[in-house]
Amino acid sequence: MFEKLYQQPADKILALMAQFRADPRDEKVDLGVGVYKDASGNTPVMRAVKEAERRILANQSTKSYVGLAGDPAFSDVMIKLVLGDTITHDRIAAVATPGGTGAIRQALELIKLADPTATIWLSNPTWPNHPSIIKYLDMPMGTYRYFDNDTRGVDFDGMIEDLGAVAAGDVVLLHGCCHNPTGANLTEDQMAQVIAKVNAQSAIPLVDIAYQGFGDGLDEDAQATRAIAAGFENCLIATSCSKNFGIYRERTGILMAIAKDADQAALAQQNMSFLNRQNFSFPPDHGARVVTTILQDAELRLDWEAELEETRNSMLALRQQLVDELKRLTNSDRFDFLAHHRGMFSRLGTTPELVEKIRVDHGIYMVGDSRMNIAGLNEKSVPVLAKAIVEAGV
């Protein structure tokens, strides 16, 4: 049996991590893996998370299964966090999932169950797991232009033109905030035009929102998702708690489906629970219980929001420091786009050859498409990166 298997494509980020670990240089810099790091290079456990876990440990009386959809209290707090009061609760179905990746997988499974002919449209570029899962599920896939390598911003005209090819019933995947891998976001007006265009094509949006709170603030980062949810009868939203709660390894996510009415929401809920049963039965609960504990307690929530704001401001400060250093070295403002990007990532818009040159000459590791994790920097490594970018001729 096993002799019939064949080698799968290597994950580029995991391969980069292995390459980084093998590099003996003391001043090497990892800008590849997508986790937040503090000034010491650590990925800390947030204060509110530690306190929530302490309370759970003290009070939890069972490790029995939760329901197929997960704890309803987790769904309630996450719906409130992401959607606020935008949609009436009776129109929303939700299931807990193993991380944001699990939410994307379940969303695609639900789409395939409802309409196997629907094409999934992705931004070019997008998070590599999006096309990988779609290909594995053997679903039709298309792309729309998104990133302009010259301006390092959104190619909005190209995006709108390409969305004109979307057919009725197709699904358009949109990033809720902090676009991965580019860091380039749509403006409020541009998002309104995208919503109108997708509606005109009679298509359905699937929102991937994995970095709420990392861009412009908790509510600010949710505005695009809320506008999308309010603009359609049907919508899917995949959400991750890995980044904004710092619970990467707990695999905590949720899939929400917005339906036209309560009857359709109930049908979606039943199908989503069915899909959970087929894929992993009951979703993991520890991370979900941590998130619920924090969001239900006023004191814990305030502390979590404060630390999340510290994290966000730290990344913004690193962005500005990098822009200032590049401006000093080049006497030009051509890297100002880095200050306008949001979230953990930015894409330099350079070639894989120059990315490799930066790695070889300076020990700075970023993904070959020039995506770099801004949160992997600190005050000392920013000048090193700026010097490497300039010397490589980016």
Active site residues: 127, 208, 210, 243
CA nearest 97: which of 347, 225, 278, 226?
A: 278
Phi, psi angle pair for 141, to nearest 5°:
-140, 140
Alpha-helical (H) ranges within 137-207 are 156-163, 188-200
What's the token pair of residue 290? 């941590």
Separation CA 50–CA 294 (nearest Å): 10
Structure letter (DSSP) for residue 24: -
Q: Using an 8 Å Cβ cutoff, are 197 and 163 in contact?
A: yes
> What is the gyration radius of the CA atoms in the chain, in angstroms?
21
Separation CA 285–CA 98 (nearest Å): 9
Separation CA 10–CA 153 (nearest Å): 29
Separation CA 261–CA 263 (nearest Å): 6
Instruction: Work out the end-to-end distance of the chain between its first and last CA atoms, rounded to an integer number of angstroms.
Output: 48
Does the bond joining 72 to the residue before it have cis omega, within 30 degrees of 0? no
Separation CA 314–CA 304 (nearest Å): 15
308 CB neighbour count, 10 Å cutoff: 21
